[in-house]
Amino acid sequence: MTTITRFAPSPTGNLHVGNIRTALHNWFLARKAGGQFMLRIDDTDAERSREEYVTAIRQDLAWLGLDVDGEERQSKRLDHYETAFQKLKADGRVYRCYETAQELDLKRKVQLGRGLPPIYDRASLQLTEADHIAKSAEGVSPHWRFRLDHDTPITWDDGVRGPQKFDPAQLSDPVIRRADGSWLYMLPSAVDDVEMGITDVLRGEDHVSNTAVQVQMFEAMGAAPPRFAHEALLMGKEGKLSKRLGSLGCDSFRARGIEPEAIVALLARLGTSQPVEPIADRQALIDGFDLGTFGRAPAKFDDADLDRVNTAIVHQMDFAAVAQRLPEGMDEAAWHAIRPNLAIVADAAQWWQIVTGPIELPEFSDEDRAFLAQAASALDFTAADPWHALTAALKDSTGRKGKALFLPLRQALTGMDHGPDMGELLPVLGEDIARRRLERASA
């Protein structure tokens, strides 16, 4: 059986880092099995859903390199949910309720005060048809709940959490349809999973109780449930659930100069027993993806870790991958010279200024100016390695070594005390620029 996973965001906002992690792991799960990764847009909430968010979701997935094998939109499938609902209704698995939010809240408080679980008491099951007619006559429309089967324990073998068992009598019958006829999450999601052929559902552990309910929904529809896995949620580095994580999305990452490969490398292993490493090889990450390595403890997301991984990824990037993002005139040799000093690709423009100039020179001592004049004369670009040829000649002729040898040369050629490897940078500067800068510094 082909493995088919899905990512099902609601287009009520931009993707955040938690969403991205869920999408990535489902993509890995599908790609490792040679299966399919589906995008499902959960846009049944017409009031809050926005088309610009649908577009943004697609663009973010593409930017991250998470190609999809198909897309469905719940707003186009309302007739499918109606068909499933009518069957459940005929089978006695859904029922009408009329309690207001305030009434339900009061019931929960009373139950908690008695030391009872705050679940729905099924009072509406006691209503007669005459009661329903009376409600209708009053202009009160019902909302609908799915009736759980209390006689059979709910079980499944979770891909992360292991064997799971729920007593359905300790769960509320979930509301699946509002009084205005619109749908809540539970039933449409289960219907879609069946009709899209979803074999594996990987999502956050906050959905565990939803899964328990949906297992019975699948059975009520005569379908086998998919395999379920629930991973620990992301937390901030401070050790508690961070609201800030909800605002961290691809837009903020792009604005910071974070590479998609860095996000993928970090989130691929965050919360697993495998070390987070700057692995740009997507296939290596796919091959190493294993639900068995996922831990139960909350996964901690730290910006410093992302910056560290991003820097290491940038240091691996080939010229061809960044050429369109570099300053005009910056060639492959310049990229290789400057690359080890970059935290983000955009910083290349600052380092390129070293080559194109102008640069500001520090104040040199008379002794250093004499030394730099000698360097200008000794510069030899016919050598295979002009920098090492220059420093070797100057070391022999002046006796200088270490900082006294190298620092004045770097300062004269770049205006800085640190920076790219001079062996790579000097050929990028070229003989004319290098000689002029040495002569200027010696004047």
Same domain? 257 vs 124: no
Give the residues across from 156 on adjacent strands. Answer: 164
Asked whether residue 342 is domain-assigned, the answer is: no
Asked whether residue 323 is domain-assigned, the answer is: no
Asked whether residue 275 is domain-assigned, the answer is: yes
Asked whether residue 335 is domain-assigned, the answer is: no
Asked whether residue 331 is domain-assigned, the answer is: no
C-alpha 407: how far from its chain's center?
43
Same domain? 376 vs 400: yes
Same domain? 193 vs 162: no
Q: What is the DSSP annotation of 220-251? A: HTT-PPPEEEEEPPEEETTSS--GGGGG--HH
- What CATH number does residue 294 fall under? 1.10.1160.10
Asked whether residue 8 is domain-assigned, the answer is: yes
Q: What is the pLDDT of residue 151?
A: 95
- What CATH number does residue 406 fall under? 1.10.10.350
The 10 Å Cβ neighbour count of residue 267 is 26
Number of structural domains (the chain) is 4
Q: Hey, what are 176's tokens?
A: 């699946």
Q: What is the pLDDT of residue 244?
A: 77
Same domain? 93 vs 172: yes
Same domain? 131 vs 143: yes
pTM, rounded to two decimals:
0.91
Same domain? 289 vs 146: no
Final residue before a domain boundary, out of 218, 233, 248: 233
Q: What is the pLDDT of residue 1?
A: 84
Q: Hey, what are 267's tokens?
A: 């989130």
- What CATH number does residue 9 fall under? 3.40.50.620
**Does 243 show up as a binding residue in the annotation?**
yes
Asked whether residue 60 is domain-assigned, the answer is: yes
Q: What is the pLDDT of residue 237?
A: 78
Same domain? 254 vs 305: yes
Same domain? 278 vs 153: no
Q: What is the pLDDT of residue 260?
A: 98
Same domain? 223 vs 256: no
- What CATH number does residue 121 fall under? 3.90.800.10
Q: Hey, what are 132's tokens?
A: 């329903």
Same domain? 241 vs 304: yes
Final residue before a domain boundary, out of 314, 332, 354: 314
pLDDT tens digits for range 34-65: 999 999 999 999 889 999 999 999 999 999 99
Residue 137, CA distances (Å) to 97, 198, 428 in order: 15, 43, 86
> Which ranges of the chain have pLDDT less than 70?
239-242
Final residue before a domain boundary, out of 168, 203, 233: 233
**Element containing residue 423 per DSSP (H, E):** helix 422-429
Same domain? 96 vs 172: yes
**Element containing residue 163 per DSSP (H, E):** strand 162-166
Torsion on CA atoms 232, 238, 244, 248, rounded to nearest 10: -70
Same domain? 201 vs 261: no
pLDDT tens digits for range 121-158: 999 999 999 999 999 999 999 999 999 999 999 999 99
Domain containing 31 equals 4-72+185-233
Asked whether residue 348 is domain-assigned, the answer is: no
Residue 315, CA distances (Å) to 176, 337, 347, 429 in order: 51, 11, 12, 21
- Interior angle at CA 175, CA 174 and CA 181, nearest 5: 155
Q: Hey, what are 37's tokens?
A: 């990764």
Q: What is the pLDDT of residue 241?
A: 61
